[in-house]
């Protein structure tokens, strides 16, 4: 498999990587939360957008490919944050199996 070349200048979006930190609510349930892991440079590549209606509110779901430098600690359920925008990690892979980059398939929801 040929190595993929990415221009380092494309990794121009500064993102916060966050991991899930659920806490108990004192009544047997959980309160979902997220804690920052690190800041990193990434390339956000929009893929598709779809409109939906939830609870009588118009929403959109946008999918992205987010390219980052290879990391061992990425997991489904983590998320990236850019200001008020949140990108939930749905899947990830090493595109050329050289451990240089990870491509994360992420979704962003908004109104």
Q: How is the chain split into domains, by residue range?
A: 11-110
16 within 8 A of 87, measured Cβ to Cβ: no
Cα dihedral 65, 67, 68, 74, rounded to 10, equals 30
Query: Can you give the pLDDT at residue 107?
Result: 95
Query: Would the pLDDT of 5 be above 90?
Result: no
pLDDT band for position 12 (cuts 50, 70, 90)? very high
Confidence band of 84 (pLDDT split at 50, 70, 90) = very high
Helix (H), strand (E), coil (C) string for the chain: CCCCCCCHHHCCEEEEEEEECCEECCCCCEECCEEEEEEEEEEEEEEEEEEEEECCEEEEEEEEEEEEECCCCCCCCCEEEECCEEEEEEEEECCCCCCCEEEEEEEEEEC
Confidence of residue 48 (pLDDT cuts 50, 70, 90): very high
Interval 14-29 mean pLDDT: 89
Percentage of the residues of the chain whose pLDDT score is greater than 90: 64
Mean pLDDT of all residues in 72-84: 95
pLDDT of residue 1: 66
Q: Which structure tokens are listed for 6?
A: 């990415």
Do 30 and 23 contact (CB within 8 A), yes or no?
yes
pLDDT of residue 32: 82
Domain 11-110 class in CATH: mainly beta
């Amino acid at each position: 498999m040929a190595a993929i070349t990415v221009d380092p200048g494309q990794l121009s979006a500064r993102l916060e990587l966050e991991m899930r930190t659920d806490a108990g609510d004192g009544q047997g349930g959980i309160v979902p939360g997220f804690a920052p892991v690190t800041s990193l440079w990434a390339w956000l590549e929009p893929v598709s957008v779809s409109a939906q209606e939830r609870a009588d509110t118009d929403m959109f779901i946008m999918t992205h490919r987010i390219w980052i430098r290879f990391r061992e600690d990425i997991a489904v359920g983590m998320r990236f944050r850019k200001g008020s925008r949140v990108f939930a990690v749905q899947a990830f892979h090493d595109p050329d199996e050289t451990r240089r980059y990870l491509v994360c398939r992420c979704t962003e929801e908004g109104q």
